[in-house]
Structure 1
Amino acid sequence: MNANTPIQTRVADHPINDAFLGRWSPRAFSDATITEQELHGLLEAARWAPSAFNAQPWRFVYTLRGDQAWDGILGALMPFNRTWAEKASALVILASDTKFTAPGKTEASDNGSHAFDAGAAWAYLALQAHMAGWAAHAMAGFDKAAMATAISLPEHHVLHAAIAIGKPGNIADLPEALQAREVPSPRHPVTATAVHGAFK
């Protein structure tokens, strides 16, 4: 663990794998670089996420720091997010295809679960990143029109998130306003989000 990474304070109410408690979304990144092969290892995990009809509607567009595409993708982030995401090793944009051709059909139709399935792919990527010693922080703060232009988003595709990936860095390098927020966030108890039988 990086000396500047907060000590793990999360405690599960029920037995789970430690990876779920250890994964969080930091903003402080080091100047480490990531190779395309290493990034593909994280995307490989996303590849195995479940999806309706095995349609696999998620689409990732990535750039490594210093790439030709970096400035366009970084520039589409909201200014607040640019202040810290610019130090990431890679930026990954998550989109999904809203159309698919169902088994036995010849024409594409609407895929009602494209966003749900893309979320599963993000979760797989995030957990693999954590287990491989990387940190992944997904954000919704970006200009959708600018990002669509930056990545040449195809027709029938929608944007979901921009993901900053890097090695944990020095919290002191963050703007002062963000330093206090650089801790793993808590979660509601299961009893607040799950009910037996029906909503009351």
Structure 2
Amino acid sequence: MSLDMSNGRKPDHPVTPMFPSRWSPRSFTDREMSVAEVMSLLEAARWAPSASNHQPWRLVWARRGEAGFAAIADTLTGNNPLWAGKAAVLFAVASKDTVTNREGAEVPNRTAGFDTGAAWMSLALQAQEMGLFAHAMAGFDKDRLAAAVDLPEGHTLQCVVAAGEQGPAEALPDHLREREKPSGRKPVGEISVRGRF
């Protein structure tokens, strides 16, 4: 079960508690995730909304200790290598950039990244429901990760996700320990306007 029982976030308007309780910690325990647990996360991603039902998201995953995990972890940049290798599972999340139109031609899918973002959120909320956490990262070397997962042509890497059981902040280096808390959010009035911009 998560160490984070109440993260102190207070919504300004009524929402289901899963939204403010979801956040992205960096500390993970050494608890392994079963293949069945990983399948539950992937099943949640599967049911994400998708424009015209194209479902462009593609996920490559591996559990800690597997060669695929090490290959993905080796492409991380910035502070990510300091903590992400302790996660139970790493996912490389990509989107298929094209769709087949009614005439049978491959054309750009302008909502591929948008839809893939919905799949990531579905995975993250499922992790939360299971007492686990998921942390998406943009800090990775795209060329090296593409090679590591044998990314097909016509696909775009969107993020790497670390998932597992939350660990104690004390397990992190000092400069990351200070950041190991849920971040705030801009008020609704700053992210939305009624009628027009």
TM-score of the superposed pair, with normalisation by structure 2: 0.97
User: Residue 180 of structure 1: CA displacement?
Assistant: 1.1
Match of 1:195 among 182, 193, 196: 193
Equivalent in 163, 168, 193 of residue 166 of structure 2: 168
- What is the CA–CA distance in structure 1 between the aligned matches of 2:37 and 2:6, rounded to whole Å? 26
Using the aligned pairs only, state the percent identity. Answer: 45
CA contact (8 A) 1:25 1:136 kept: yes
Question: Which of 171, 174, 184 lines up with 2:182 in the alignment?
Answer: 184
Cα deviation, residue 105, structure 1: 3.0
- The answer for the alignment partner of 2:147 in structure 1 is 149
For 2:18, the equivalent position in structure 1 comes to: 19
Counterpart mapping for 1:1-200 below 5 A: 2-3=2-3, 5=4, 7-102=6-101, 104-199=102-197
3-state SS in 2 of match to 1:86: helix
Q: What is the identity, as a one-letter code, of the residue corresponding to 1:19?
A: M
Deviations 1:108-167 (A, max 9, x none): 211011000000101111111101111000000000000000000000000000000010
1:16 maps to a residue whose letter is V
**Structure 2 gaps, min length 5:** none
Mapped contact 2:133–2:166 kept (Cα < 8 A): yes
Cα distance in 2 for partners of 1:63, 1:86 equals: 11
SS of the residue 1:160 aligns to:
strand
SS at match of 1:72: helix
Shift >6 Å, 4+ stretches: none
Q: Partners of 1:50 and 1:17 in 2: how far apart?
A: 19
Deviation at 1:2, TM superposition (A): 4.1
Aligned-CA RMSD value: 1.2
Letter in 2 for 1:157: H
Count the aligned residue pairs: 197
SS for the counterpart of 1:69 is: helix
Residues 13-57 of structure 1, C-alpha deviations (whole Å, 9 max, x = no match): 110000001110000100000011111101101111111110000
What runs of 5+ residues in structure 1 fail to find an aligned partner? none
Contact 1:172 1:179 in 2 (8 A): yes
Q: Distance in 2 between matches of 1:105 and 1:125?
A: 33
Q: Secondary structure at the residue paired with 2:67? A: coil
Looking at structure 2, the residues matched to 127 and 63 of structure 1 have their Cα atoms a distance apart, in angstroms, of: 19
For 2:2 and 2:72, locate their aligned partners in 1 and report how far apart those are by CA, in whole Å.
Answer: 28
CA distance in 1, matches of 2:183, 2:126: 19
